[in-house]
Amino acid sequence: MTPFPGSGLAKGLAVTLRTMTKKTVTEQYPDTQPDLPPRTRGVIGLFEENCTVCMLCARECPDWCIYIDSHKETVPAAVPGGRERSRNVLDRFAIDFSLCMYCGICIEVCPFDALFWSPEFEYAETDIHELTHERDKLREWMWTVPAPPALDPGAEEPKEIAAARKTAEKLAATQAAAEATEAAEVTKAAEVTKAAEVTKAAEVTEAAEGTGVAQTAPEPADPGHVESASPTDPPEGQS
């Protein structure tokens, strides 16, 4: 539908009239703290465990107020025969809030959720150099970052959570399979040992029985055999 001429002007005047009819309330700051929205752009907090020193925030900052220093470290191979890898280690992360214009670009472009908005705004200083917050100070602001809003119950599960859940399930399945294999090997070894012991006991019993028969069984007599007198025995009737 095509808007009629002057509709924009009418909407603007309606907003002005609504504002004019509202009662003006003066908050006695700092005695009375303002009731700010939870996602207020007050100060930026740093969760450095998530920072990979990708430098996207520093490159995209229109005021060039983010300073990052890092160095590379070699990570040993995770498995024998693997190759070593290198990773960036964060040395310095600072934001100069005397230059920051609170555009939020650094937070939006961070691919690993290392920067967050905090509603805290009372960090004025008498010295402009104190407005450059190093990473320790930025980490302290993280404790004031509000929890994210709840997701829509019908929304799709976030990809990060789904990937983490699948990884955890795969790891649990691998661990369970390894434990089952180990238990099967232990059971098999026990069965083999028991079978060997039974076989050895049977052989010992059979050998003992064979030895007893050989010692106790008399030799069969030969009907045609007549014992001859020994040549050294004297003949009968002679002493």
- pTM above 0.85? no
**Residue 64 near residue 99 (C-beta atoms within 8 A):** yes
Pick 221 or 211 by higher pLDDT: 211
Task: Judge whether residue 46 has pLDDT over 80.
Answer: yes
Cβ-in-10-Å burial (0-12, 13-18, 19+) of 120 comes to middle
pLDDT for the residue numbered 34: 87
Q: Is 62 left (phi over 0), alpha (psi -120 to 50) or beta?
A: alpha
For residues 175-183, give the mean pLDDT.
91
Q: What is the pLDDT of residue 97?
A: 96
| Helical (H) or strand (E) element with 214 | helix 159-216
Please give the pLDDT value at position 78. Answer: 80
Out of 34-38, 64-68, 164-168, 215-219, pick the least confident: 215-219
Question: In which band, very low, low, confident or very high, does the pLDDT at 171 lie, cut at 50, 70 and 90?
Answer: very high
Model confidence at 217: pLDDT above 60: no
For residue 195, is pLDDT > 80? Answer: yes
Please tell me the distance from the alpha carbon of residue 68 to that of residue 211, in angstroms, as a whole number.
89
| pLDDT score at 239 | 47
Average pLDDT, the chain: 85
Q: Report the percentage of the chain scoring pLDDT > 70.
A: 87
**Would the pLDDT of 209 be above 70?**
yes
Report pLDDT digits (tens) over 103-121: 999 999 999 999 999 999 9
Q: Cα separation of 99 and 140, whole Å?
A: 20
pLDDT value at 237 more than 70: no
pLDDT, residue 56, reads 95
- Give residue 102's pLDDT band: very low, low, confident or very high (50, 70, 90): very high
Contact 117, 57 (CB under 8 A): no
Given this model, what pLDDT does residue 129 score? 93
- The reported pLDDT for the residue numbered 212 is 58
Q: Terminus-to-terminus CA distance in the chain, angstroms? A: 159
